[in-house]
Amino acid sequence: MATSRQSAGHRTRNIAEWVEEQQASGRYVFTRADVEAGLGGSRIAVQTALRRLKQKGRIALPRRGFYVIVPPEYRAAGSPPASWFIDDLMRHLGRDYYVGILTSAALHGAGHQQPMMFQVIADRATRSMHAGRVQITVHASRTVAAMPVERVETETGSMAVATPETTAFDLVRFFSAAGHWNHVATVLSELAETIDGDQLVEIAPLVRLPDVQRLGYLLTVSGGGDIAQPLAQWLAMRRVSVVRLRTDRPAGEVEADPQWRLIPNEPVDIDL
């Protein structure tokens, strides 16, 4: 028994040292397969050692088999920011992705309230994840590969982030995740100065016409009418049906906005 305990302790110490070496080289993520390839040993021994490191707060586990090294300054939070590892995590999951909705809006300078969750758009449905206090929510979209994104430098590399124009459309497409229409309009009013109206037209064919109508209307009521003008011209050349801002409420006696052919069946207030 003594020999067995000594062996397990030896393995734990080696893995702890291996993790320290990864961090010293600037690497903050690894997989269980990386450990097994680097140190050898049985899978059970590796799993046991990794479990102990996680219990000590030395590593976080946002998804099975994928580990994040937690430097001392982030031990209280249980994880470094998601931007440190999101690119590696989504690659590990085999997902095309980009950072979007309120998270990308904040990265572009919009959003006077920082989002509580790190929001990602991916090509397939993926359950939410957490590492310590870091919460990551993933929303599925078939147009991920086609939507304009930009690579943004992070502390550990880079990540794919929705452009301001992609963000604008996603605030509408995923309005529940964005805090519903008042908050969407508020964020759009802050994002407006970074949005290119012509770029919105480039994206418009990738989304549903009602989402184009809703975005154009919300930009207009939030003070971005000039930015929305190219969208209005694009819509004018298409057969557009009248839609409601909120599909879960009746139209009532509210008249449709003639430019966007949209019934504003919910008042929109900008909170700045």
Amino acid identity, position 132 = G
Among residues 227, 222, 224, the alpha carbon closest in space to that of 270 is found at: 222
Q: What are the b/e assignments for 142-157, b being 16+ CB within 10 Å?
A: eebeebbbbebebebb
Residue 74 vs residues 32, 88, 173: alpha-carbon distances, Å? 22, 19, 34
Q: What is the DSSP annotation of 2-39?
A: HHHHHHHHHHHHHHHHHHHHHHHTT--EEEHHHHHHHH
Return the CATH number of the domain spanning residue range 2-74: 1.10.10.10
Strand partners, 153: 158
Q: What is the DSSP annotation of 162-197?
A: E-HHHHHHHHHHTTTTTTHHHHHHHHHHHHGGG--H
> Once rounded to an integer, what is the mean pLDDT over residues 65-94?
97
pLDDT in tens, 150-192: 999 999 999 999 999 999 999 999 999 999 899 999 999 999 9
Average pLDDT in the chain: 91
Give the pLDDT confidence score for residue 5 in this predicted structure: 41
> Once rounded to an integer, what is the mean pLDDT over residues 132-157?
97
Q: Which residues contact 203 (CB under 8 A, 6 or more apart)?
A: 147, 148, 165, 166, 169
Among residues 200, 174, 197, the alpha carbon closest in space to that of 115 is found at: 174
Among residues 6, 189, 195, the alpha carbon closest in space to that of 111 is found at: 189
pTM of the predicted model as reported, rounded to 2 decimal places: 0.90
- Report the percent of the chain where pLDDT is more than 70: 93
Give the pLDDT confidence score for residue 270 in this predicted structure: 87
Among residues 49, 162, 185, the alpha carbon closest in space to that of 103 is found at: 162
Q: CB neighbours (10 Å) of residue 188?
A: 28
Angle made by CA atoms 43, 47, 48, in degrees to the nearest 5: 120
pLDDT in tens, 52-71: 999 999 999 999 999 999 99
* Element spanning 51, H or E: helix 43-55
User: What are the residue ranges spanned by the domains of the chain?
Assistant: 2-74, 82-263
* Entry field: residues in the chain: 272
| Three-state SS annotation for 109-138 | CCCCCCCCCEEEEECCCCCCEEECCEEEEE
Give the pLDDT confidence score for residue 252 in this predicted structure: 82
Residue 110 vs residues 98, 119, 136, 164, 210: alpha-carbon distances, Å? 17, 15, 19, 10, 24
Residue 214 vs residues 19, 217, 218: alpha-carbon distances, Å? 49, 5, 6
